[in-house]
Structure 1
Amino acid sequence: MIGLLLLALAVCGLAIVVPEVRKRLRQQRALSTIPGPPCPSFWTGVSTQLHNPYAVEYREQVLTEYGRVVKLPAFVGDIHLAISDSLALSTLYNKYRDAFDLPKWHSETSNTVFGPGLTAARGQQHSKQRKHLSPVFSVRYLRDMVTMFNQVAQDLVDTLHGQVSQEGTEVEMSEYLSRFSLEAVGRTALGYSFGPLDVHGTDYSLALKEFGPTLVKLHLWRPILPWLKWLFPLDVLRAAASVFPWKVVRHMQAISDNVYQTSREVLRKKGEAIKLGDAAVRQEIGEGKDLISILLRQNILGLEGERLSEDDILGQMSLLLLAATDTTSASITRVVQLLAENPKVQETLRREILDATTHVGRTLFDLDYDAFAKLPYLEAVVRESLRMYPVFYMANRVSDEDALLPLSEPITGTDGKQIQELFIPAGTTIWLNMLGSNRDPAIWGPDAHEWKPERWLAPLPASVADARTPSVFANMSTFAAGPRSCIGYNYALAEMRIAVAHLVLAFKFTPSDKEIVWKLGGIVSPSVRGSDSMKPEFPVVMARA
Structure 2
Amino acid sequence: RLLTTDTRALHHLSTRDDIYWKPSSTRYSLGRVVGDGILITEGEQHKQQRRIMSPAFGPNQVRELTPIFLEKSVKLRECWDRAIQAEGGKSAHLNVLRELSRMTLDVIGKAGFGYDFNTLDNGEEASELSRAFGTLFGAPVNSRQWLLLQAWIPPLRLIPGPGDKAEKTAMETMHRIGRDLLAQARAEAEQAEKTGSSDFKGRDLFSLLVRANMAADLPQRLRMSDEDVLSQVPTFMVAGHETTATGTTWAIHQLTQNPAVQSRLRDELRTLDTDTPTLDELNSLPYLDNFVKEVLRFYSPVPWTARVAMRDDVVPLEEPYTDKKGRVCYEIKVRKGQQFLLPIHCLHRKKSIWGEDANEFNPDRWDAPSDAIKNVPSVWSHLFSFSAGSHACIGFRFSIAEMKALLFILVRAFEFELAVPVDDLKVRASVVQRPALISQPEATAQLPIIIRSAA
Instruction: Give 2:150's aligned amino acid.
Output: W
Aligned partners of 2:185 and 2:202 also within 8 Å: no
Residue number among 150, 156, 168 corresponding to 2:76 in the alignment? 156
After TM superposition, list the pairs within 5 Å mapping 1:86-235 onto structure 2.
86-94=7-15, 96-165=16-85, 166-195=89-118, 197-201=120-124, 202-212=127-137, 214=139, 216-217=144-145, 218-225=147-154
Aligned partners of 1:403 and 1:423 also within 8 Å: yes
Compute the displacement of 1:253 (Å).
3.2
After TM superposition, list the pairs within 5 Å mapping 1:204-283 onto structure 2.
204-212=129-137, 214=139, 216-217=144-145, 218-225=147-154, 244=160, 246-277=161-192
Residue number among 383, 386, 410 corresponding to 2:296 in the alignment? 386
TM value normalised by structure 2:
0.89
Residue in structure 2 matched with residue 333 of structure 1 by the alignment: 249
Aligned partners of 1:337 and 1:511 also within 8 Å: yes
Distance 1:279 1:160 in 2: 46
Compute the displacement of 1:322 (Å).
0.5
Distance 1:325 1:185 in 2: 7
The question of 1:529 aligning with 2:438 is answered yes
Residue in structure 2 matched with residue 442 of structure 1 by the alignment: 352
SS in 2 for 1:536: coil
Instruction: Give 1:395's aligned amino acid.
Output: T
Aligned partners of 2:105 and 2:119 also within 8 Å: no
Aligned partners of 1:216 and 1:521 also within 8 Å: no
The total of aligned residue pairs comes to 439
Q: Which runs of 5 or more structure 2 residues have no equivalent in the other structure?
A: none
Aligned partners of 2:112 and 2:204 also within 8 Å: yes
Distance 1:533 1:257 in 2: 30
Compute the displacement of 1:228 (Å).
7.5
SS in 2 for 1:364: coil
SS in 1 for 2:84: coil
Residue in structure 1 matched with residue 269 of structure 2 by the alignment: 353
Aligned partners of 1:191 and 1:287 also within 8 Å: no
Compute the displacement of 1:98 (Å).
0.6
Which range moved further: 216-225 or 395-404? 216-225
Q: Which runs of 5 or more structure 1 residues have no equivalent in the other structure?
A: 1-79, 230-236, 358-362
SS in 2 for 1:517: strand
Residue in structure 2 matched with residue 424 of structure 1 by the alignment: 334
Residue in structure 2 matched with residue 540 of structure 1 by the alignment: 449
Residue in structure 1 matched with residue 404 of structure 2 by the alignment: 497
Q: Percent identity?
A: 27
Compute the displacement of 1:287 (Å).
4.1
Q: Deviations over 1:179-205 (max 9, x none)?
A: 100111111111111025131323432
Q: Deviations over 1:503-528 (max 9, x none)?
A: 10111101102533221343111222
TM value normalised by structure 1:
0.75
Residue number among 195, 206, 209 corresponding to 1:292 in the alignment? 206
Residues 321 and 290 (structure 1), Cα distance of their counterparts in 2 relative to 1, 3 Å cut? same
SS in 1 for 2:270: helix
SS in 2 for 1:495: helix
Distance 2:402 2:324 in 1: 45
The question of 1:518 aligning with 2:427 is answered yes
Residues 381 and 206 (structure 1), Cα distance of their counterparts in 2 relative to 1, 3 Å cut? farther
Q: Deviations over 1:206-239 (max 9, x none)?
A: 44345446475222321344x678xxxxxxx6xx
Residue number among 280, 283, 308 corresponding to 2:224 in the alignment? 308
Distance 1:212 1:431 in 2: 24
Q: Deviations over 1:143-167 (max 9, x none)?
A: 1111111111111111111001442
Instruction: Give 2:255's aligned amino acid.
Output: L
SS in 2 for 1:164: helix
Residue number among 359, 368, 377 corresponding to 1:459 in the alignment? 368
The question of 1:84 aligning with 2:13 is answered no
Compute the displacement of 1:89 (Å).
1.9
Aligned partners of 1:340 and 1:511 also within 8 Å: yes
SS in 2 for 1:355: coil
Compute the displacement of 1:475 (Å).
0.9
Aligned partners of 2:102 and 2:119 also within 8 Å: no
Compute the displacement of 1:104 (Å).
2.6
Greater Cα radius of gyration, structure 1 or 2: 1
SS in 1 for 2:379: coil
SS in 2 for 1:90: helix
